[in-house]
Amino acid sequence: MIQFPARALLTVLAVALLPLPLQAQEDQRWYQVELLVVAHTDPAAQRTEHWDPLPALAYPEPLRFLIDPQRLQANLDGTERADYSEVDAQGRQRIHLQARWQVAEPPAAGDAVPAGLAGAVSGSEGSVPADGGTLPEDDAADSETLAVEAPPELADVPPRLPTPFVQLPASAREFRGKAAYMERNGPYRVLFHETWWQPIGTRRAALPLVLDRSGDSASYPPLQGTITLYRSRFLHLQTNLWLNTGGSYLRGDWGMPAPPLGPSSLELVEPPLLAAELESALEFGSDYNPAWDQVESMAEAEVEPAPTYPWRHAVLLQQQRRMRSNEVHYIDHPLLGVVIKLTPLTPEALQQATYDESIRQLLQKPESTTGSPAEF
């Protein structure tokens, strides 16, 4: 049998235990992205071309969302029965709801505790043996803790990468002055202006990024659609954006059919059936009435009416542009203007990033939560 030196084995373990994003840095380089989208408000601009009367408008699948820290907290605060929040790989916030039944209060001091529940309440006297010793489980837990203590070589594992696609504060926007100047001195209106960090890899791995929140608000904003960033020999930007307009350039009162709303970036997750609810459901089983299923089916069939499309037409901006990092690129269009800059990020900048610290508790499931599912 081939013998491996202990130090070589620890080196192999250290490499194997590196976080996946750190291992993928060579394939996905990180950039700071700043994107500004403006609309030309001059009415004459809408008559410069003959627009496609029925443009093909769609949100591709799969896709992902930008993460708005203020929206995450507002969604959690405004959700009744919210337990905890987490964000999935596509940037969709998933708020897990508490169970509808109330958890029983722990027994008061002096109350008799059933033998089967002794030790179930954290910190209760029933969890300590009468002789004052320690439980066998405690000894086992201590021994396991000692057994998995990391060797010194593993202490040098680099810190995790920051959370990608998180909207940075307005102070991070390089184009702030330019955007204000355009609105103040020209026929322009800012529709979108955000800055964020993200890894950019191959075209096959790139996901379109949704710029609007129409799926959350169930209403049609002026700007809808997605952009896609990827890297081959050069950096590339692909736009799939459309501007909803009043259609003053159209004849008569004709208007196009409503375009699709964007996907929702928020999902409410009900907890699994708990033991108390299951028992209640089984108790009334003998009194089951088939008519209840019909009522439930009718309620599920009631679909909310689609929102009214307040515009008459949409103009599509579907282009692909090759770019270089550290340069400002501008995509011109009679009705829309897109300004973008991609700045490479160094490993030191990634490891020192702290912009996601204030929302880290909203991004992932906490270690302990209420409303845990029953064990069967």
**Looking at residues 40-60, what average pLDDT do you find?**
93
Who has greater pLDDT, 305 or 315? 315
CA distance 53 to 135: 76
User: What is the domain range of residue 163?
Assistant: 33-98+156-278+308-370
The answer to whether residue 148 is domain-embedded is no
pLDDT > 50? residue 376: no
pLDDT tens readout for residues 355-374: 999 999 999 998 865 544 43
The answer to whether residue 242 is domain-embedded is yes
What's the distance, CA 252 to chain centroid?
43
The answer to whether residue 317 is domain-embedded is yes
Residue 82: per-residue pLDDT: 96
**Looking at residues 265-284, what average pLDDT do you find?**
75
pLDDT > 50? residue 90: yes
Residue 367: per-residue pLDDT: 80
Query: Would you place residue 132 in the very low, low, confident or very high pLDDT band (cuts 50, 70, 90)?
Result: low
CA distance 87 to 365: 9
The answer to whether residue 119 is domain-embedded is no
**Looking at residues 64-80, what average pLDDT do you find?**
97
CA distance 55 to 316: 7
pLDDT > 50? residue 65: yes
Which residue type, as a one-letter code, is found at position 227?
A: I
Query: Would you place residue 43 in the very low, low, confident or very high pLDDT band (cuts 50, 70, 90)?
Result: confident
Q: Which of 9-13, 156-160, 196-200 has the lowest mean pLDDT?
A: 9-13
**Predicted TM-score (pTM) above 0.75:** no
Who has greater pLDDT, 124 or 72? 72
Who has greater pLDDT, 82 or 140? 82
C-alpha torsion 291→292→297→300, nearest 10? 150
Place of tokens 């970036």: 265
**Looking at residues 40-52, what average pLDDT do you find?**
91
Q: How many helices (H) and strands (E) does the chain have?
A: 10, 13
The answer to whether residue 116 is domain-embedded is no
Consecutive H or E run containing 304: none
Residue 276: per-residue pLDDT: 58
The answer to whether residue 107 is domain-embedded is no
Residue 305: per-residue pLDDT: 79
Tally of structural domains, the chain: 1
The answer to whether residue 114 is domain-embedded is no
Q: Is 227 helix (H, G, I), strand (E, B) or coil?
A: strand
Q: What are the φ and ψ backbone dihedral angles of 250, each rounded to 5 degrees?
A: -90, 155
Query: Would you place residue 10 in the very low, low, confident or very high pLDDT band (cuts 50, 70, 90)?
Result: very low
Q: Which of 18-22, 65-69, 196-200, 256-260 has the lowest mean pLDDT?
A: 18-22
Query: Would you place residue 70 in the very low, low, confident or very high pLDDT band (cuts 50, 70, 90)?
Result: very high
Residue 11: per-residue pLDDT: 36
Q: Are 324 and 234 in contact (CB under 8 A)?
A: yes
Residue 71: per-residue pLDDT: 97
Cα–Cα distances in Å, from 237 out to 108, 112, 371?
64, 69, 44
Report residue 25 as tokens: 């840095």
* DSSP assignment letter at 147: H
- State which of 82-96, 133-147, 260-274 shows the largest mean pLDDT: 82-96
Query: Would you place residue 97 in the very low, low, confident or very high pLDDT band (cuts 50, 70, 90)?
Result: very high
**Looking at residues 172-197, what average pLDDT do you find?**
95
- Strand 266-269 versus strand 320-323 pairing type: unpaired
Query: Would you place residue 87 in the very low, low, confident or very high pLDDT band (cuts 50, 70, 90)?
Result: very high
Q: What are the φ and ψ backbone dihedral angles of 90, each rounded to 5 degrees?
A: -95, 5
Q: Which of 85-89, 124-128, 147-151, 168-172 has the lowest mean pLDDT?
A: 124-128
Question: What DSSP line would sit under 310-322, residue for residue?
Answer: --SEEEEE--EEE
The answer to whether residue 294 is domain-embedded is no
CA distance 192 to 121: 52
Who has greater pLDDT, 244 or 13? 244
